[in-house]
Amino acid sequence: MTHSSAPILITGGAGYIGSHTVRLLAGQGRKVVVLDNLVFGHDQAIIDPSVELVVGDVGDQALVRSLFAKFQFGAVIHFAAYTYVGESMTNPLKYYQNNTAEPIKLLQVMQEFGCKVFVFSSTCATYGVPDKLPITEANRQRPINPYGKSKLMVEWILEDCDHAWGLRSACLRYFNASGCSPDGLIGEDHNPETHLIPRVMMAVRGEIDHLEVFGTDYDTPDGTCIRDYIHVEDLADAHARALDHLAAGGDSVRCNLGTGVGVSVKEIISAVEAVSGKTVPVKYGPRREGDPASLVANPALAEELLGWVAARKDIQDMVGPAWIWTNGPYGGRYPQNKTPE
């Protein structure tokens, strides 16, 4: 397939999902420039030598202007954000500033330079507690925390920019990103880590005493919460397709990215035990406020609009590479960034 030759600006490209997408796009021969302040990203996660990493902030308009002037970007993929739901409850302004106000500054520069293609990391958290399952794009978006609201506001802003100045966008509502490149060269390393699969890995490796499981009395077959785990390389593929769709003049899209398969916490624990051959130390506790019993996508619209389907639906396909990453050269944790934060 031939792609638009204009360079692509990828914010947050040194983070977990961003780095896998950068690797895919650069591998497809696209010119990629990453803008990441490395607050949570890792310079070691940029492994393609053709990719330029600029350490800086999305909201630094002078820097972003200079990058647009130099590279004449044809598109932006915006991953940069804060992602901790709990912290967003106690410090909402931090989230509205970084996740909503900073992208506005970026969009202002895009408008100045006439760049009209934007791919946005949205989230299933914009739906809140779903009124029906599986979740389609027709479900009402009623986020229950500032994180989800900060993302939904950007969806609205993008809609208005489309109307006002022809910005075409893809709002990709990810479910639970998981897995990593099968060679284990890049992977998931958040600090603190709140995501289930890496936490189960940490428990198996003795980095934490035990895995805490919140709630065993949900209305699900085994009583634990059910989520839709989507492989990070499938997410990356969806971004490539969204870029091509928009570059070809396609309309703005908003769609779910999930497998459509629900997996419970207990099933994840069993999958990690199977791949590691070890028992996961677990403590079962009460439910945590704000955790819906089940969040599962209906991904049909992404197939219809972008020709995208998740290639991996078996949880072993997510857990297997994560085990390789956790036992790889970095032991699941990148070394300290070479560039100071």
Ligand X SMILES: NC(=O)c1ccc[n+]([C@@H]2O[C@H](COP(=O)([O-])OP(=O)(O)OC[C@H]3O[C@@H](n4cnc5c(N)ncnc54)[C@H](O)[C@@H]3O)[C@@H](O)[C@H]2O)c1
What are the catalytic residues?
147
Taking the complex as a whole, the smallest distance from the CB of residue 174 to ligand X amounts, in Å, to 4
- Among residues 53 and 271, whose Cβ is nearest to ligand X? 53
Taking the complex as a whole, the smallest distance from the CB of residue 141 to ligand X amounts, in Å, to 14
Given 53, 58, 161, 272, the residue binding ligand X (CB under 6 A): 58
39 near ligand X (CB under 6 A): yes
What does the block give as tokens for 142?
């009623």
Site for ligand X, residues 121 to 140, rule: CB under 6 A: 121, 123
What does the block give as tokens for 327?
């036992």
Given 17, 85, 110, 301, the residue binding ligand X (CB under 6 A): 17
Given 11, 21, 145, 326, the residue binding ligand X (CB under 6 A): 11
Size of the site for ligand X (CB under 6 A): 29
Site for ligand X, residues 167 to 196, rule: CB under 6 A: 174, 176-177, 190
**148 closest CA partner among 170, 125, 174, 116:** 125
234 near ligand X (CB under 6 A): no
What does the block give as tokens for 326?
């956790």
Whether 262 contacts 208, CB under 8 Å: no
Given 8, 9, 10, 14, the residue binding ligand X (CB under 6 A): 14
- Among residues 121 and 145, whose Cβ is nearest to ligand X? 121
Quote the CA–CA distance of 156 and 168 in Å, as a whole number. Answer: 13
Q: What single letter denotes the amino acid at residue 47?
A: I
Number of Cβ within a 10 Å radius of residue 208 = 15
For 6, 73, 311, the CA distances from 55, given in Å and listed in that order, are 21, 17, 33
- Among residues 18 and 146, whose Cβ is nearest to ligand X? 18
Conformation bin of residue 63: beta by default, left when phi > 0, alpha when psi is -120 to 50:
alpha
DSSP strand pairing (263-264 vs 226-227): antiparallel
325 near ligand X (CB under 6 A): no
Taking the complex as a whole, the smallest distance from the CB of residue 216 to ligand X amounts, in Å, to 23
Site for ligand X, residues 68 to 97, rule: CB under 6 A: 79-81, 83
Given 8, 10, 37, 334, the residue binding ligand X (CB under 6 A): 37
**70 closest CA partner among 9, 20, 4, 12:** 9
For 23, 29, 45, 239, 318, the CA distances from 34, given in Å and listed in that order, are 11, 15, 11, 15, 26
- Tell me, residue by residue from 239 to 268, as one string, x for binding to ligand X by CB under 6 A and - for no binding: ------------------------------
Taking the complex as a whole, the smallest distance from the CB of residue 177 to ligand X amounts, in Å, to 3
DSSP structure class, residue 14: T
DSSP structure class, residue 194: -
36 near ligand X (CB under 6 A): yes
Q: Give me the residues that bind ligand X (CB under 6 A), please.
A: 11-12, 14-18, 35-41, 57-59, 79-81, 83, 98, 102, 121, 123, 174, 176-177, 190
